[in-house]
Structure 1
């Protein structure tokens, strides 16, 4: 039944492995969509799960299937703890992104773990999830999925830029929503910060103290992906095959790597934001990287807007809640103009708990 409002939990786990983002929100429709976030929390991954998730791209499909089951059980525990802690009642459903294990749309392959029937059974609640696979079946990239939320919830901004594991952007052009991955960001910066026993480079302070290596910067900026037209998306596999070997060959110290890669990311992002008098909403963990933001501003003509912490940190979880609402209503939540699929569609699967 189509309703005017929905009481939903949205769940997101990103490639930067910051943790599991969970929000409890109400979505209401009255000529346009509005939302209210009631609670939001990030559950950090314990070291054993962080290690497993970092190695997913090395696993066989049978190994991933086993991990999928265990991860779904773990995810159910985390979500249940959030529900109990916040005394949440009368939920319509839980909408979950899962965690990307494999993303190779050119091979007609995408795999999100954490979308197992066990999730619904253990939570004893309806779960709407696995939003990517149908789009890949229709010939699309299966990503990015957030742009429909950008259009419906944040349409007052000309650009919506997310700085997570990857930088991705969404905007309207000629009546269509266009979105694509620009470049890696935190997935690379955090990788090298970990080599000096840091989870991340706080505010980009280490990067700001380093020196840009012009040779490596030129090599990075010359990567073929940046010349390709959208739709296009990136995955961890590509980073491991293309980016990390190039950086490691440079033999730079960590300061130099972080400084050079930050400049690279800022350069690629600013190329897309090369438009005057437009507002760009910036979210994701990279919004807290003051050095990265300053470098983007120095290269870009756009007005960079940093919202409140809740939107910075939980926008993607919020949007996946909306994707679930649209799926529940059998309305379009995946745009062919974004992913390159053969048609707009209502993506995702609905899991009903077994009695």
Structure 2
């Protein structure tokens, strides 16, 4: 593939939260370092039937899952085609994360659906997808992948935290990039908000009303995941450990569970953030959870005074992951590594992704 200095790419992100498809049209330029602009963006909610299928995809048999793979790829392609027409833009490539069904790196498995050929045929432009599987086959976690974007696009921050379905973090340590999933986030918050008849807990209002379940908090903090050191990642299937602790009872009202989860998340994140000596430590927080006012207040209260949480632009909060997946596609086009072994634990840095129609 040819190397050039500027790229116009559409990034697609269908996160584990399962609420919709993030589309970001991004322009990247490489001089002394990488720069970017998000020129157009949109979140398209999933149609009800498709959304239900995606949420239940991990329970489907092989045939139904194969059908959903093609259906979802085609649907994303149609959204991209409409997005291009609406914004009157030209893109070289679509770079798609896909929807994660299974993520079990210990079994060499990470499956994201959203068929690349179906997406290519429906959108009319080349597609790059399946970014995780090469890393998994090289013994890595296949996640998180965003840290290469943090390293090359957001190097002015000491920590980059993304609060999506899962909360993850990336940082420089001893001259190399490290990153890992910290804890669940919106996957569990949304689950208990739905018990209250809400799709999500807007601004953390429900959690703010609740009270702390101290015994539950202790149990959450003792979960085995928090004892693992080094490269580690969480999948939807890991949530059973949490749900067993949070099981419904009279005391475990959803507001109380939401409040307790917020405090649990704050404690887990706070353990990781170490202030730099003699200067402010800058923390960039993005992802849907950055709009959870109650969580952000509790996080700020818990941090030492020389740790500064940067208020990110709402555009970046909403579309950083789509931006970075667009960037992963750029690195794939340049045949440069887009997955770091220091992050995932794989045998070596690698250049993941399958190309359709380029």
Which category of TM-score, normalised to the shorter sequence, fits these structures?
Answer: over 0.9
| Structural mapping, 1:42-61, within 5 Å | 42-61=43-62
- C-alpha deviations, 1:87-145, integer Å up to 9, x for none? 112x2111111111111111111100013311112222111111011111111101000
Partner Cα distance (2:62, 2:146) in 1: 27
Q: How much has 1:60 moved relative to structure 2?
A: 3.1
Partner Cα distance (1:113, 1:268) in 2: 31
Q: Which residue of 2 aligns with 1:116?
A: 116
- C-alpha deviations, 1:268-309, integer Å up to 9, x for none? 111111435311000000000011111112222221112110
Query: Is residue 224 of structure 1 aligned with residue 229 of structure 2?
Result: no
Specify the SS of the correspondent of 2:88: coil
Specify the SS of the correspondent of 2:167: strand
- Segments of structure 1 that go 5 or more residues without pairing to the other structure are none
Give TM-score scaled by structure 2 length.
Answer: 0.96
Q: Which residue of 1 aligns with 2:214?
A: 214
* Residue number among 312, 320, 323 corresponding to 1:315 in the alignment: 320
Q: Which residue of 2 aligns with 1:329?
A: 334
| Structural mapping, 1:162-201, within 5 Å | 162-201=162-201
Report the more deviating stretch, 115-124 or 23-32: 115-124
Q: How much has 1:250 moved relative to structure 2?
A: 5.1
Q: How much has 1:80 moved relative to structure 2?
A: 1.1
Q: Which residue of 2 aligns with 1:292?
A: 295
Q: How much has 1:77 moved relative to structure 2?
A: 1.1
Partner Cα distance (1:234, 1:51) in 2: 22
Specify the SS of the correspondent of 1:216: helix
Q: CA RMSD in A?
A: 1.2
Q: Which residue of 2 aligns with 1:157?
A: 157
- C-alpha deviations, 1:148-196, integer Å up to 9, x for none? 0000110000000001111100000111100000000110000010111
Partner Cα distance (1:263, 1:56) in 2: 31
- Segments of structure 2 that go 5 or more residues without pairing to the other structure are none
Specify the SS of the correspondent of 1:157: coil
Q: How much has 1:249 moved relative to structure 2?
A: 5.2
Aligned residue pair count: 351
Give TM-score scaled by structure 1 length.
Answer: 0.96
Query: Is residue 341 of structure 1 aligned with residue 346 of structure 2?
Result: yes
Partner Cα distance (1:232, 1:161) in 2: 15
Report the more deviating stretch, 143-152 or 78-87: 78-87
Q: Which residue of 2 aligns with 1:304?
A: 309
Asked if the contact 1:115/1:130 (under 8 Å) is kept, the reply is no
Partner Cα distance (2:30, 2:273) in 1: 31
Asked if the contact 2:74/2:115 (under 8 Å) is kept, the reply is no
Partner Cα distance (1:140, 1:217) in 2: 31
Q: Which residue of 2 aligns with 1:31?
A: 32
Q: Which residue of 2 aligns with 1:244?
A: 243
Specify the SS of the correspondent of 2:319: helix
Specify the SS of the correspondent of 1:171: strand
Partner Cα distance (1:198, 1:242) in 2: 24
Q: Which residue of 2 aligns with 1:63?
A: 64
Specify the SS of the correspondent of 1:272: coil
Partner Cα distance (1:122, 1:40) in 2: 19
Partner Cα distance (2:63, 2:303) in 1: 46
Partner Cα distance (1:179, 1:216) in 2: 27
Q: Which residue of 1 aligns with 2:22?
A: 21
